[in-house]
Structure 1
Amino acid sequence: MKLIYTSLLLIVGTLVHAQSNKLLINPGIVLLKDSIESEKLTTALNDFLNAAQKPNDENKLVLESQKVETFILLDEINGIQESKEFNDAFFYKPYLTNVVALEASNFLIQVSYIGTHENNAFLRASFELIAHKKNDSFVFSSPLLRNTQNWKVEKVGNNIFHYKNTINETKVKEFGKLAFAFDSKLKSENKLTDFYCTDNLIELQKLVGVQYKSDYNGIVQSVWSSTLGDRKVVVFGNQNATFNNFDPHDLFHDRLSLVISRSKLNRAVDEGCAYLYGGSWGMTWNEIFQAFKAQVASNRNTNWAEIKETPVYFKTSGFNNSADYIVNALLVQKIEKEKGFEGVWELLNVGPAEKGNEKYYLTLENLTGITKANYNEEIWKLINDEK
């Protein structure tokens, strides 16, 4: 939804035209008392915002000690200037709207991205970040750690939960036990994950430094995360302020992402693992399989090789599930019984799906003897054997 503000037009109208990606400053804004320091701050901020349009790890102006926390905010800034509606890669311009001194060398910075068209101003997003004085310049971070510095902490294994008041310790222990099981399967060691527990997306956004973003109008729940090396940060915004629930399906994905980027994996196999080990949408693997069997596998003319190329879906609790993911869960189960998880890992790593899935079928044949030619027949055997 587009928000139009007359007051924003007044700000825009007083600014001299500048480069399409250059930070614009309201002439009336209160900056630092030292004009030289102000110039250093705005120059560094401009460079930071431009670098935010590149991969996160290329941004050299992120505070080193808070990189993984800041990457969540960078994900939201990336691509923020583009407007598809107006076919303009730099439609939304960054405006510095506030600078507040927090301590001698730290400053709260607020930046809004605004675009103009036919005398109307459109607010895309407003961000909040912390500027840290470093040597003769500045580096920046998300306000996440500052906003949660007085929160309570519960640690289970390599998982650290941050919460405001209370937390469901039974669920935390259950989570820790399952996370350990997944980590053991994945041979994942010394991976540290911080979880921040909030009620909704609005609270989540404020914690990480997103004051407003038009993309999320009307959306109440979400979960955001970022990963860097052996660290991962997850911020819950899905009615989880006290951690009363978690999804084992998503937990497998999260633990896997600590070992390898999911973008490098075969998604169907990845999802197959998550369904097999964690069910989905609050349902067990067996409940999911029975729904799959009733809605898709009840048709004896179903060709599983064709479904791999042209997805077919079935519903559980109102949500869509890919039939091919369930087929892959059956294959994962077979491979793990015969080859151990090392075999599953090999199939996981055939890479993203491609037309014809030749790499997938070649690896599957090496692991199980199932070929592209007999795939349909063998999948029917697995379905019939599953109780």
Structure 2
Amino acid sequence: MPIILQQTGQHKNQKNNCGYIRSTATILLLVLILLQLHSYAQTPVAKSKLFKSEVPQDVQSRLLQALDTLIYKIDKGLPLSKTNSIGGTLTNSIFGTVKGIGVYGAAKNDSLYFPQLINLHAIADDRYLISIAYIGSNSLKAIIDFEAKINHDWITFSIPLFYLTEKWKIRNVGNITYHYANDINLARAKKFNSNNTRIAEKLGLRPEKFEFYLVDNYQEILKLLGYSYDSETAGHETDGLGISSGYIFSIMHNEDFSHDTFHYYAEKVRTHPRNGAAEEGIAYSWGNAYYTDSSGEMITQKQLVKLLKIYLQQYPNTSLLELFSKNPLIFPAKTKVRSLIASIISDEVERRKGITGIRALIDCGRGDDNYFKVVNELISVNPADFDVELKKLLNKYN
């Protein structure tokens, strides 16, 4: 599945996710695969009938042969010749997404997609951009761009991220290195650097350094990572990507990534399967609600508490337990009432039990039954008296 990678806590695979990426299934930020030119009897990549290029034919042949080898090895799970040490841990994630697209063999039907070379052009001396379309009998699955560099007997492949951003500006703010084309909001950048330190230290961890790319929307992120088109996420705009192997891609050009920074560090201390409600609640409280408002600012827990109070005034017979369980869309910009309620609970856990209680909440295990079991043990809130107790907690917020 293209570049929406498997995420920590499965943000993309659960109803209440906000896009956190599992660090063990990292996005590709730098992939340099050094391949000895080696041919196979079967060539997986064919030239499109409409393919045209000004690259000399002998160079085309070398590049296509090397790309054939790369894709063949990925698809068959064969070891790659050599992996650059900078991006060694990142290669499997991106190539895993490619493996899910390419299909080898003679059979063709609507569920199978075959790679076709659709574009190849030079971008510098011995450097080229190659575009591959994965096409089925009636549909386009994805278009993937590779940067290739010829090094004597080797072909080096990478995603186009660094080529596309090589003229961007760079600004260091504490542990965060920002990469941006035009503008940066330093106040937000400093806030995120502070939050990164605060969240890590609260969980007893050392704050880490991150490379942070500021982009305007999710489609721009995909293009930087090599996906010019992805049928799974076409038109998708409002998510970011990360944290993965030290890299972050912004949510709608916002410098703050505190929400998923909590998820990143929480995974390092969790010993049981992730509980979505527990972690989302803490992320809403310690960080933000992940999405931006109409002014480009991160939506905060404080803002959503006010909206929830207004909603309850308008609909006084509303069940808070039902809001938590069914998670209806009553808030703007894909923010979740379930996560907000969980954040109110996590705040009370922290007030009464401190970080020990938060750690217990993080480690409560998957599912609402486990969540309520631990919450009841920590602060005596359970489904039977949920509405009564939650209204008391809600009244603590101005």
Using structure 2 for the length normalisation, give the TM-score: 0.68
Matched, 1:256 2:263: yes
2:274 to 241, 247, 265: 265
Corresponding residue for residue 309 of structure 1: 325
Return the offset for 1:347: 0.9
Distance 1:298 1:136 in 2: 71
Match for 2:158: what amino acid?
S
8 Å CA contact retained: 2:376, 2:382: yes
Determine helix, strand or coil for the equivalent of 1:112: strand
Shift of 1:162: 0.9
* Distance across 2 between alignment mates of 1:237 and 1:285: 17
Which deviations, in whole Å up to 9, do the C-alpha atoms of 1:175-212 show, x marking residues without a partner?
22232222222333252221112344554443222233
Q: Which residue of 2 aligns with 1:109?
A: 130
The question of whether the paired residues in 1 share the 8 Å contact of 2:196 and 2:261 is answered with no
| Correspondence for 1:153 | 170
Aligned counterpart in structure 2 of residue 183 of structure 1, from 200, 213, 216: 200
Q: What is the rounded CA distance, in whole Å, between the counterparts of 1:334 and 1:369 in structure 2? A: 11
Contact kept, 8 Å, 2:216 with 2:251, in 1: the verdict is yes
Q: Would the aligned equivalents of 2:147 and 2:158 in 1 still touch at CA under 8 Å? A: yes
Instruction: Say whether residues 1:333 and 2:359 are aligned partners.
Output: no
Pairing 1:44–2:58 present:
no
Identity of aligned pairs, percent?
24
**Cα distance, 1:273 vs structure 2:** 1.9
Match of 2:146 in 1: 129
- Residues 111 and 127 in structure 1, CA contact (< 8 A), matched pair in contact too: yes
Distance 2:228 2:117 in 1: 14
Gaps of 5+ in 2: 1-40
State which structure, 1 or 2, has the greater radius of gyration over its C-alpha atoms: 1
Indicate whether 1:23 and 2:37 are aligned.
Answer: no
**What displacement does 1:94 show?**
0.9
Alignment counterpart, residue 187 of structure 2, candidates 170, 173, 184: 170
* Residue 206 (structure 1) aligns with: 223
Q: 2:87 aligns with which of 41, 63, 66?
A: 66
Confirm or deny: 8 A CA contact 2:189 2:255 kept in the other structure: no
Question: Displacement, 1:60?
Answer: 8.3
Residue 285 of structure 1, CA deviation: 2.9
The answer to whether the 8 A contact 1:125-1:211 is kept is yes
**Which whole-Å CA distance do the structure 1 matches of 2:251 and 2:370 have between them?**
38
Pairwise CA RMSD = 4.1
Change (3 A) 1:161 1:133: same
In structure 1, what residue type is equivalent to 2:214? C
**2:286 counterpart residue number:** 277
**Cα distance change, pair 287–236 in 1 and its aligned pair in 2 (3 A):** closer
Out of 292, 300, 317, which is 2:308 matched to? Answer: 292
Q: Describe the SS at the equivalent of 2:188.
A: helix
- After the TM superposition, which of the residue ranges 151-160 and 261-270 deviates more from structure 2? 261-270
Distance 1:312 1:188, change over 3 A: same
Q: Is the 8 A contact 1:25 1:97 kept in 2?
A: yes
* Contact persistence 1:296–1:314 (CA under 8 A): no
Unpaired segments ≥5 residues, structure 1? 1-17, 53-57
Whether the aligned pair in 2 keeps the contact of 1:124 and 1:213 (CA below 8 Å) is yes
The CA distance in 1 between the partners of 2:339 and 2:143, in whole Å, is: 39
